[in-house]
């Protein structure tokens, strides 16, 4: 009897030194550093850690140098219809960006760092629907927040920076595995990143932040949360943002994001939405506990309300995830090149009997 591991659950396909997801203990680490230590560090330092293995800002300074260069593709970007989803923009334009000479010492990964440097401007330009005025902000996060006219308060910067740190890397998730599968064919890094962006768009992956917030909007108020959750469970409808394939306890990233979301929304028009999310989570975990299951909110659940409080439209949420996770993709591309083997799993055939003749029906 052939055992099929749907979704490759539990299948170890390779080694990695980039991050460790300990689902049983509810721990996440990047190159040996616990996420609890990294969450309050500058995003540029953590990006350097993920890509280069060092906690310093030299890489961010180089990325800023490229980010300051004019976006040669602005006319092409602005020619796209306004309604084009930002993830389609990133997936389509990632292979077209220029300036790889700035990272020549990274070899085949050079173009990936160009994409990482330019993604914030791509997103912000698509949102603004016009060329952006140059930003002199000293950090990648600061530039983006300035571009999108986010609230100019320390709470907003800290929340956004923490969210970006928390989602920069997560082992062999679907998007990263798509990137590594593409890389295994010896395709260039821009193709790998484009494949990963396309995968991240799915609502069971990076798109869950948008989906979870839309659920909160439909529920409308904390008082309606219990009825909503009960109806979902009765109809076996998935509650977006609840549970995670890897974590058997609370997702450690969700704990941090929830705290930042509470601080950022307190006393604002978004506090009601946050309270609705809290009520949905509370009812869901209560119902799961009654069934003997430990299921909690994941990274995506509270992230959307942070993005909304920063003034970002809902459909731009996943592209902000991509703006962070792209560094993880670059790191995995570099690692995969150290000992490459094309990814080519086997499949168990269950089709019609072999030896059929032309003209025979499937039933025959």
Distance separating alpha carbons of residues 82 and 193, to the nearest angstrom? 23
* Token duo for residue 169: 């890397």
Of residues 328 and 242, more confidence is placed in: 328
Give 361's pLDDT tier (boundaries 50, 70, 90): low
Percent of the chain with pLDDT over 90: 74
Q: What is the pLDDT of residue 362?
A: 58
Residue 310 CA to residue 320 CA, distance in Å, equals 12
Pick the CATH number of 208-308 from 3.60.20.10, 3.65.10.10, 1.10.230.10, 3.30.470.10: 1.10.230.10
Predicted confidence (pLDDT) per residue in 286-322, tens digit: 998 898 888 888 888 899 999 999 999 999 999 999 9
Residue labelled with tokens 């990133």? 90
Are the beta carbons of 254 and 305 closer than 8 angstroms?
no
**Strands of 19-22's sheet in order across:** 19-22, 27-30, 33-34
Q: Which pairs count as long-range contacts for 3-10, CB under 8 Å and 24+ apart, including other chains?
A: 4/348, 7/245, 8/177, 8/345, 9/245
Task: Write down the pTM of the prediction.
Answer: 0.92
Please tell me which residue, 101 or 200, carries the higher pLDDT value: 200
Q: What is the pLDDT of residue 132?
A: 92
Which CATH fold topology does 18-201+326-339 show?
A: Citrate Synthase; domain 1 (1.10.580)
Q: How many other CB atoms are there within 10 angstroms of residue 183's CB atom?
A: 27
Q: Report the pLDDT value the prediction gives residue 210, as an integer from 0 to 100.
A: 84
* Cross-strand bridge partners of residue 27: 22
Higher model confidence: residue 17 or residue 298?
A: 17
Distance CA 298, CA 99 (A): 37
Q: Which residues neighbour 209 within 8 Å (Cβ) at sequence distance 6 or greater? A: 241, 300, 301, 303, 304, 307, 317, 318, 321
d(CA 342, CA 181): 7
Question: What percent of the chain is predicted at pLDDT more than 70?
Answer: 99
> What would the pLDDT profile of 167-191 be if each residue is shown by its tens digit?
999 999 999 999 999 999 999 999 9
Which position has the higher pLDDT, 267 or 70?
267
Beta bridge partners of 242: 297
Of the given ranges (152-161, 268-277, 289-298), which has the lowest mean pLDDT? Answer: 289-298
Q: What is the pLDDT of residue 262?
A: 95
Q: Provide CATH 1.10.580.10 ranges for the chain.
A: 18-201+326-339
Residue 136: the pLDDT is 86
- Residue 30 scores a pLDDT above 90: yes
Q: What are phi and psi of 302, to 5 degrees?
A: -100, -5
Distance CA 280, CA 251 (A): 16
Buried/exposed code over 62-99 (b: 16+ C-beta within 10 A; e: otherwise): bbbebbeeebebeeebeeeeeeeebbebbbbbbeebeb
Residue whose C-alpha is closest to residue 147's, from 159, 160, 156, 134: 134
Give me the DSSP letters along 217-252: HHH-SGGGHHHHHHHHHHTT---TTB--SS-SS--H
Nearest to 5 by CA among 181, 198, 245: 245
Whether the per-residue pLDDT at 364 is higher than 50: the answer is no
CA–CA separation, 137 vs 135, rounded Å? 6
pLDDT (mean) for 113-125: 95
Separation of alpha carbons 92 and 77, rounded Å: 10
Residue 353 has pLDDT above 70, yes or no: yes
pLDDT of 19 higher than 80 = yes
Which helix (H) or strand (E) segment holds residue 33: the answer is strand 33-34
Section 254-269 average pLDDT: 93
| pLDDT tens readout for residues 318-338 | 999 999 999 999 999 999 999
Distance of alpha carbon 24 from alpha carbon 327, whole angstroms: 26
Structure-model confidence comparison of residues 361 and 86, the more confident one? 86
Lookup: tokens for 12: 């170890």
What residue ranges of the chain are covered by domains with CATH 1.10.230.10? 208-308
**pLDDT score of 207 more than 60:** yes
């Amino acid at each position: 009897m052939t055992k099929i591991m749907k979704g490759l659950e539990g299948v170890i396909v390779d080694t990695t030194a980039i991050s460790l997801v300990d689902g049983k203990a509810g721990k996440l680490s990047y190159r040996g550093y616990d996420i609890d230590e990294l969450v309050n560090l500058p995003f540029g330092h953590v990006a350097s850690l993920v890509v280069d293995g060092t906690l310093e800002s030299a890489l961010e300074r180089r990325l800023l140098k490229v980010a300051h260069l004019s976006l040669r593709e602005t006319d092409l970007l602005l020619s796209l219809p306004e309604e084009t989803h930002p993830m389609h923009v990133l997936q389509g334009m990632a292979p077209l960006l220029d300036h790889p000479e700035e990272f020549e010492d990274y070899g085949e990964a050079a173009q990936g760092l160009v994409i990482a440097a330019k993604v914030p401007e791509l997103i912000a330009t698509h949102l603004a629907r016009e060329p952006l005025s140059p930003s002199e902000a000293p950090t990648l996060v600061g530039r983006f927040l300035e571009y999108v006219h986010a609230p100019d308060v320390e709470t907003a910067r800290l929340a956004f920076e923490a969210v970006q740190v928390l989602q920069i890397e997560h082992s062999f998730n679907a998007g990263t595995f798509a990137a590594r599968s593409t890389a295994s064919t010896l395709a260039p890094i821009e193709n790998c990143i484009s494949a990963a962006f396309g995968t991240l768009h799915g609502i069971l992956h990076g798109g869950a932040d948008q989906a979870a917030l839309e659920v909160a909007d439909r529920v409308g108020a904390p008082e309606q949360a219990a009825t909503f959750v009960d109806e979902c469970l009765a109809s076996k409808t998935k509650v977006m943002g609840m549970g995670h394939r890897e974590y058997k306890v609370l997702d450690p990233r969700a704990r941090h994001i929830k705290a930042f979301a509470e601080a950022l929304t307190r006393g604002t028009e978004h506090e009601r939405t946050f309270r609705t999310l809290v009520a949905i989570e509370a009812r869901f975990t209560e119902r799961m506990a009654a069934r003997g299951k430990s299921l909690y909110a994941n990274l995506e659940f509270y992230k959307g309300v942070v993005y909304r409080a920063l003034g970002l439209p809902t459909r731009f949420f996943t592209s902000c995830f991509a703006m962070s996770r792209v560094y993880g993709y670059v790191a995995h591309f570099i690692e995969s090149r150290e000992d490459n083997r094309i990814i080519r799993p086997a499949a168990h055939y269950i089709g019609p009997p072999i030896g059929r003749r032309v003209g025979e029906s499937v039933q025959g």
